[in-house]
């Protein structure tokens, strides 16, 4: 049951970043982009995503992201996206633009965001923290669902 519930959390997170079925060119671009990332770049992308989420009014009081940190992260992502599209995956970027326009880029970078978040989700401490809710589950009621 524990692995199943963790799987649900991971699938929901993944679904948030890959909501629409991508066309072939967007899928190819997404694969090229993710294959071109290093582990450190995936972690820095996840940090940038975290900073963006932390800016939400309902969440901002829980995190203190300095303007300098935000600017540094934005600069990193801007340079990374430029490199990925112009240097690492230029033909796949052109194909995606021709096939699906900006939607294809959104879909391809949705996969990049998913991979970046998976990098963080694989950490033992993160897994331990995200499964903290399990102690509050009503196991009796949940077991009854499978009867």
Does the pLDDT of residue 120 top 50, yes or no? Answer: yes
Q: What's residue 147's pLDDT?
A: 86
- pTM for the structure as a whole: 0.76
Q: What's residue 29's pLDDT?
A: 94
For CA atoms 119, 114, 106, 67, the dihedral sign is negative
Does the pLDDT of residue 2 top 80, yes or no? Answer: no
pLDDT in tens, 14-41: 444 444 566 899 999 999 999 999 999 9
Does the pLDDT of residue 135 top 70, yes or no? Answer: yes
* DSSP line for 70-120: HHHHHHHHHHHHHHIIIIISHHHHHHHHHHHHHHHHHHHHHHHHHHHHHHH
Which residue, 14, 40, 24, 1, is CA-closest to 131?
1
Q: What's residue 23's pLDDT?
A: 85
Q: With contact defined as beta carbons under 8 Å apart, do 93 and 85 qualify?
A: yes
């Amino acid at each position: 049951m524990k692995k199943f519930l963790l799987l649900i959390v991971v699938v929901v997170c993944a679904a948030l970043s890959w909501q629409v079925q991508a066309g072939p060119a967007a899928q190819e671009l997404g694969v090229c982009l993710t294959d071109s990332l290093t582990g450190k770049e995936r972690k820095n992308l996840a940090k940038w995503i975290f900073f963006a989420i932390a800016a939400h009014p309902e969440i901002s009081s829980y995190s203190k992201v300095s303007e300098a940190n935000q600017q540094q992260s934005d600069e990193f992502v801007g340079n990374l996206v430029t490199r990925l599209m112009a240097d690492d995956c230029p033909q796949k970027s052109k194909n995606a633009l021709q096939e699906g326009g900006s939607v294809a880029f959104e879909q391809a970078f949705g996969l990049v965001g998913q991979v970046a978040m998976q990098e963080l989700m694989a950490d033992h401490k993160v897994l331990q923290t995200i499964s903290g809710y399990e102690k509050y589950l009503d196991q009796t009621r949940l077991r009854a669902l499978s009867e």
